[in-house]
Structure 1
Amino acid sequence: MLFHVFLREDVDVAIYEVGVGGELDSTNVVEQPAVTGITSLGIDHVAALGDTIDRIAWHKAEISKQGCLAFTVKQVPEAMEVLNQRAAEKHVELTTVEIGSLLQNVDIKPAEDFQRKNASLAVKLSFTILERLGALPEQFVQGLKGVV
């Protein structure tokens, strides 16, 4: 249903979040996204993804597709190892995004490292798409300030 709306409305770019996880997620119908990102992983959706961080990372890594730019934030070592292994299997270059220096003066809530990591990833993903479109709006900072 969601993807029919994109087509009907002639959407140039759609940002969507997977629900449970990449391997089992319905968003896998998008075979060639422009860019993908994996935020800070935690122990969630254990019934579907498994009860360890490495099992969860394995599922989440399915969002990465060959020929598609892929980014993540620094994960715990067990998760990072799995993400890198899956990227190699899929012939995907996975880039780790560091906390952006431009975010130092942005009042992000909660003001925690995981939120700054995820905000940095969101900026990188958006920046990647905006570079392809040739537009770099100032609204990044204003949008991030409004995130709660």
Structure 2
Amino acid sequence: MVKKIHSVVLKDIQFVEIEGEFKEVVENEKKYPLFLSNHSLRRGRDLGIIDSSMIQDLLGLEKNVKGKEDDEAARSLLDDLSEEKMQNVIYLAFIGANPKSEYTLDDFLQRYHGDYTETLTLYMEILKSSIGDSNNKFAAGLRKSTKKPSSKEKK
């Protein structure tokens, strides 16, 4: 099985005053690969970034989804996810793909500027790719409950 590699763009953002108005200036923009590894998960536990194994977290998410309709399952998942936890997992995926990086979690977060939707999407994609193949019922359920609705579906 080929590992799914995601990516994130890290950048420095400054606000400068130009003609009496503040403008956002982006500098040092760089794209990095992301994927979870045994090493990054271990480092996450050692640093106190994650409390439990990813399997325990995934099983907790599965309990929220099991036996529920898609909309209800999606709402239940969102209720259980904090932005901090999602950012921590994205950082661990950064460590997994960039093990020699000197970035601390704070360094990473200073340069990571994804909004809530981007963070949630990236987090879910990282989790989905770490739980494996299409024969895994939980993986299939997670994919189904987090897919974007088509324009023809009722909201």
Same fold per superposition (TM over 0.5): no
Which of 1 and 2 has greater Rg? Answer: 2
Which category describes the TM-score, using the shorter chain as reference length? Answer: under 0.3
Higher strand share: 2
User: What is the TM-score with the length of structure 1 in the denominator?
Assistant: 0.26
